[in-house]
């Protein structure tokens, strides 16, 4: 059974941690890996470091980092908890596909816990078109195909309560811009605030 967490900020609240613990019990020998590719700071990214500490505090003794920009996606098969850290969604999706990590993740999804934070949650959905609508300047890898991993059919917009993160030169709110995107693309977007999460179990 596939267990997927979609979050804006990973283990941001006590409630999210507690929810994670309820599904962690299904794993006899939990081994966690954090995919750091989306951030230019990689394993030194403060959110990646916080996540490692969170895992350790939750009793998971093996917690590693992987950067699929330089490592093969096959390495993910050594783990049953895969955490996809946030950052640049274009860069993340490009290297997930190039390393074949996307195919490996689909293989593992039935018997693993997969957690997406921010950009990591966006790529688990059907596409990252909404990222291209809001932040096309982040597409430094010249990605043309915005089709994502489709481990869920939910298209996420993380940090939907953070106007400071997604500033608009014309003063339009995040919600105004999302409504325009939904109308033009015919894609329904699920808004996710910083302290919110979605658990898909089975």
Could you tell me the domains of the chain?
Answer: 3-201 (3.40.50.880)
Q: What is the pLDDT of residue 1?
A: 55
Q: What is the pLDDT of residue 186?
A: 96
Q: What is the dihedral of CA 158, 155, 73, 25, to 10 degrees?
A: 80
Alpha helices in 69-189, H assignment, sequence order = 89-98, 101-108, 119-122, 129-134, 174-185
pTM: 0.97
Count of all residues that appear for the chain in the document: 202
Q: What is the pLDDT of residue 139?
A: 98
**Alpha carbon distances (Å) from 7 to 15, 62, 81, 117, 199:** 12, 22, 15, 5, 9
The three-class DSSP label of residue 146 is coil
Q: What is the pLDDT of residue 157?
A: 98
Alpha helices in 62-173, H assignment, sequence order = 89-98, 101-108, 119-122, 129-134
Low-confidence ranges of the chain (pLDDT < 50): none
Answer left, alpha or beta for residue 100, where phi above 0 means left and psi between -120 and 50 means alpha. Answer: left
């Amino acid at each position: 059974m596939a267990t997927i967490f979609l979050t804006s900020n990973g283990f941001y609240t006590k409630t999210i941690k507690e929810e994670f613990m309820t599904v962690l019990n299904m794993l006899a020998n939990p081994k966690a890996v954090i995919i750091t590719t989306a951030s230019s700071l990689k394993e030194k990214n403060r959110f990646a470091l916080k996540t490692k500490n969170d895992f350790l505090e939750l009793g998971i003794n093996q917690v590693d980092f992987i950067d699929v920009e330089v490592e093969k996606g096959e390495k993910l098969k050594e783990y049953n908890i895969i955490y996809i850290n946030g950052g640049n969604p274009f860069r993340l999706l490009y290297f997930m596909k190039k390393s074949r990590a996307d195919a490996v993740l689909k293989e593992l999804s039935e018997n693993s816990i997969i957690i997406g934070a921010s950009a990591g949650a966006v790529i688990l959905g059907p596409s990252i078109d909404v990222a291209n609508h809001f932040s096309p300047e982040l597409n430094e890898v010249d990605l043309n195909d915005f089709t994502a991993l489709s481990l869920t059919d939910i298209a996420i917009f993380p940090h939907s309560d953070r106007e400071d993160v997604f500033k608009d030169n014309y003063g339009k709110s995040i919600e105004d811009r999302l409504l325009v995107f939904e109308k033009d693309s015919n894609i329904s977007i699920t808004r996710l605030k910083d302290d919110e999460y979605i658990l898909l179990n089975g």
